[in-house]
Structure 1
Amino acid sequence: MGTHYCHLKLDERRKLAKWLEAKMPISEIADRLGRDPSTIYRDIKRNRYTDDELPELSGYHALVAQDKYEQRRAIHRKMIIHPDLKAAIEDRLKAGWSPEQIAGRMRLERHPIRVSHETIYRFAYSKDGREEQFYRHLPEHRRRRRPRGYRRHNRTHIFDVQSLSHRPERVSERLEFGHWECDLMMFRKEHGKVNVTSLVERVSRYAVVMRNEDRTSKP
């Protein structure tokens, strides 16, 4: 089994630059960092600074190496190189969609440029996403407004709840057609007991939405 290549962190690059300047052998540097020598060689090759006009400035510099690494990663971030895509995703998040729902709809509609929900989360918590406060649009960060005097323990308790962690592995991995996820969208009491029930088949993502006259699970 091949060694998994994992990029160096900034503090490792600082040590690498210092030890290269001290003419320490690559094998010893790799040993000190607990890395494979090929990882060290690869980082030096990819992130080395070259100055044609002033060759004496050429070499491996930690901050320059880190900057080159981050710029290279940014090229692959679709959310940065496609601002229209980012704006559309942001609009969906503001409308209450989850990253999983957005990515699923893109796959369903076969968008020419689409991203996974992991990419949306990764961008939201990246340096760029944090600077734009993009993460604030994620469902878990959206502030829920509650009426004054609202008490959490007034919420209806669900008895005999079944945890998703108990479902069979074959269901969890979406290997079989025919397993459905059910969800309930309830409204304020003044609108009565009526609610909307959604059913989503886990493999095809085929969705059924229906009017339900009762809040209990039996109907």
Structure 2
Amino acid sequence: MGTVYTQLSLQERRRIEDWWLAKVPVAEMARVLKRHKSTIFREIKRNFWADDSLPKKYAGYFGIAAHRRTQRRRSTQRKLIRHPDLCKRVIEHIKQGWTPEQIGNRMIYDGAKPRVCQETIYRYIYSKEGMDQELWWYLPEHRKSRRPRRARKRLSPKFDRDVSILFRPDDVAHRRQFGHWEGDLLLFKQKLGQTNVTSLVERVSRFTVLLKNPNTAIMRKLVVVANALLRDGRKWSENCT
């Protein structure tokens, strides 16, 4: 048994149903499921179904009904359901284009009470209530279904830390010396075509040069971009002289 408690899954509840009908002891259920026996006792007691208008032989524990009952009970305990005014304020921000990260951090900055974190907002967006309002459409990536949890983990950096801009010389970092340039590749929406632009900005004077590139797939290669910069750099030198 782990130190972090997890809710019973639908598969576990269906197994409990089969064992309950077969009159398997609760201690044995807990041993197989690797749960505490009090968890099984509490599950059967809370989700036991009975109807006074029907004979007692129809009463019992049913896995699917128990799972739906638990989901319905847990949904009423969510923070944005218990606080309608807070939910309304969050929805207004979402429809204005705010991301859940911006909403949560802004509430922390303003010291708002009650407030919610970004994870709570995301869970509401992809809940039944949020899907009915189509709140996912207002997110930057317009994802109708949330990414799996493992896919949301931070990836390792593609560039070695030794070449980070954090280690550039002080004269460059504090803009005290002319002649240092910053380069970037600007990509556009697909409907605008495959062309892209390389931008060069001189750090002190802010002098900016834009180079139009013919093809995105080709210009993403570092060697091609470097050759283009060297070629145009010679032209600037000749013009200046």
TM-score range, shorter chain: 0.5 to 0.7
Higher RCO (C-alpha under 8 Å, 6+ residues apart): 1
- Write the mapping of 1:87-98 to structure 2, written as runs, cut at 5 A: 87-98=88-99
1:16 Cα deviation from its structure 2 partner: 0.9
1:91 Cα deviation from its structure 2 partner: 2.3
Distance 1:88 1:52, change over 3 A: same
Distance 1:102 1:14, change over 3 A: same
CA distance in 2, matches of 1:42, 1:90: 36
Distance 1:22 1:94, change over 3 A: same
CA distance in 2, matches of 1:7, 1:155: 51
Asked whether the 8 Å contact 1:75–1:81 carries over to 2, the reply is: yes
State the partner residue of 2:136. Answer: 135
State the partner residue of 2:32. Answer: 32
Larger Rg: 2
Structure 1 counterpart of 2:51, one-letter code:
D
Asked whether the 8 Å contact 1:5–1:39 carries over to 2, the reply is: no
State the partner residue of 2:166. Answer: none
TM-score (norm 2): 0.54
1:71 Cα deviation from its structure 2 partner: 1.8
State the partner residue of 2:192. Answer: 149
Identity percentage over the alignment? Answer: 44
State the partner residue of 1:209. Answer: none
1:2 Cα deviation from its structure 2 partner: 7.2
Q: How many residues align?
A: 156
CA distance in 1, matches of 2:45, 2:59: 12
CA distance in 1, matches of 2:33, 2:197: 52
- Over the residues paired in the alignment, what is the CA RMSD in angstroms? 3.1
CA distance in 2, matches of 1:106, 1:156: 38
State the partner residue of 2:41. Answer: 41
Structure 1 counterpart of 2:135, one-letter code:
F
Distance 1:27 1:137, change over 3 A: same
- Write the mapping of 1:7-156 to structure 2, written as runs, cut at 5 A: 7-54=7-54, 56=56, 57-141=58-142, 146=189, 148-151=191-194, 154=196, 156=198
TM-score (norm 1): 0.59
State the partner residue of 1:165. Answer: none
Give ranges in structure 1 of 5+ residues lacking alignment: 159-188, 190-219
Distance 1:2 1:29, change over 3 A: closer
